[in-house]
Structure 1
Amino acid sequence: MARINAITTRLNGVTGPEKVAIVMLAVGKTHAAKLLERFDEDEQKEIVRAMMTMGLVSGDMVERLLATFVSRIQSSDVFGSVAQAEQILLSVLPPERVRTLMEELKGAAGCSIWEKLQSVPDAQVAAFLAAESPQTAAFVLTRLPPAQAARVLQQLPRPLAEDIVKRILNLTPVAKPVVDDVERVLRTEFLINIGQNRMADNHGLLAEIFNHLDHELESAMFASLDKDMPESSERVRSLMFTFADLKNIDDAGIQILMQELPPGLLPLALKGAAPEMMDLFLRNMAERAARMLREEINGMPKVRLRDVEDARRQIVNICKELIARGEITASGEDDGGWVG
């Protein structure tokens, strides 16, 4: 991306590809197409991805940006979108190439294959890498966030992990054809298989659905499953992550979780909660903050059970996101059932 960065190093706060994307949107598709031709394929992908996701850019930002490229230009708001990006691409690339490129960029909200890999459970990434050559495994780990790479490395056999670490130290720049081949394997032989496996096991999918049901409907559904499909019912229960499962989060994790909660959500969720759940949060707060939380809960008027359940589901979802990002961890007997 040297060409992109060279053009835009004088402006801060916006990435190089985003700056080029703003300029292209401002000058119109005809001129943008000519500009896009000047970049190689990887740079084009970065620019187009920026166009698709940036949304509204203020006129002031456009003006400051364009001042670095031309001495006089009239600024206006620009809006990056999928349609805008596609129109510019069609002005410079064959339709079939545009279709392929757009499908790749739009997949998982425009995520690259490496970004998609971040959402795959660590155990599955480790299993895939264990079947590949150590050199390939070393390269893949360098493309993952360090925290995820560390978790994956811990799940590999020790001799293989030691070999991979040494290869990372000696890793040299990888040629683009080799990178393309690795990405192809990840896309066609790994991620697709994972997607098919997820679809094949509908217990996990149903557990996710049940996590969002109100208590009355969830109870009714489980009663039906308990009667007709008891083994499946128990498996779905084991895969669910409920408000009560927050007790498997250590104190440091609860403190991180509380920092992410919107104001007013925790008091509502703790209304009528079991004493152990109340203590879970109170013991991780400063004395004054804990006293204020108790007073707020005790002074709260009657609330609908549905509102309390919704608040608890929101907290659970925030917790699951933090677990997926590796910012907090869970423990307990059932931790292997739902993390990841």
Structure 2
Amino acid sequence: MDNQEQAAMLLLSMGENGASQVMAHLDRNDVEHLSYKMAHLSAITQHEAEAVLNRFFRRYAEQAGIARASRAYLQKTLDLALGDRVAKSLIDSIYGDEIKTLVKRLEWVDAKLLARELLHEHVQLQAVMLGLLPPETAAQVLQHLPQANQDEVLIRIAQLGELERDVVDELRQLVERCMLMAMEKSHTQVAGVRQVADILNRFEGNREQLMQMIRIYDKRLASDVADNMFDFIILGRQKAEVLQDIIGAVDADTLALALKGIDPELKRTLLDALPKRMSSAIETQSDALGGVPLSQANEARRQIMDTAKEMMENGEIELQLFEEQVVE
């Protein structure tokens, strides 16, 4: 097992409470990668489990046994020695600005939702917020802000320095409002439609019959479900000639990246649809990539499905979202 798989196995062995406390200290990418690994771990032998646990406890035993001072401990000690304001500045320089931890919670809030809330704020506060968010999240929020102001926001981010206490307090209030708004806003319908699409994509029974029942109930809802069924998994039930047309419209780098981490049976179906020499080259290129961020592999798969959808809408291919019943 690689390091991430070993970490995933260790977290699983801790139980829900222990694992959640550890993951609370990780950034979003690490949480996503470890969650993916945890979900896909299988057939761990007793020997492998013992090796991982022994490695962990061996590393633990090598530590000096002197734990670092907690932030609360240093805060109380320095408050007494230096006074509140001086101690606060020193603590922030040691542990990083407290507001960064607060803003980190917004990584899980929808970018459109954050942008809508930021629209009501002064551009300087917008810049401070985006300056503290991870670049990936900040870029997504920026895309949903008015295009005319995007350059000004970026310039102000570049000019940011130490934040005044009143700005920190204002930002804290903004973060709390964003979190409250995110909890209050219901995304049930969108999530529900996507969930139905994911269920149908993986359903082994008669998908067409279920879709027909949804159409009878609500044609628009059925259309939304169908739109959400453009998942990479459906390529596994396409005819070889359809797969060849789709793959032919995608560059080799994107395809090699999209193959990372997918179901082995689906991977073999896609590769078998290609000429033997091309299939071998793509597989070799994919293997040579080594470990890649899950977000990059998902983006490559999304690009391929966007291409497939466009080709279907243009009448270039007939894409089966589900197998229809066959009659003699």
Q: TM-score, normalised by structure 1?
A: 0.48
Higher helix share: 2
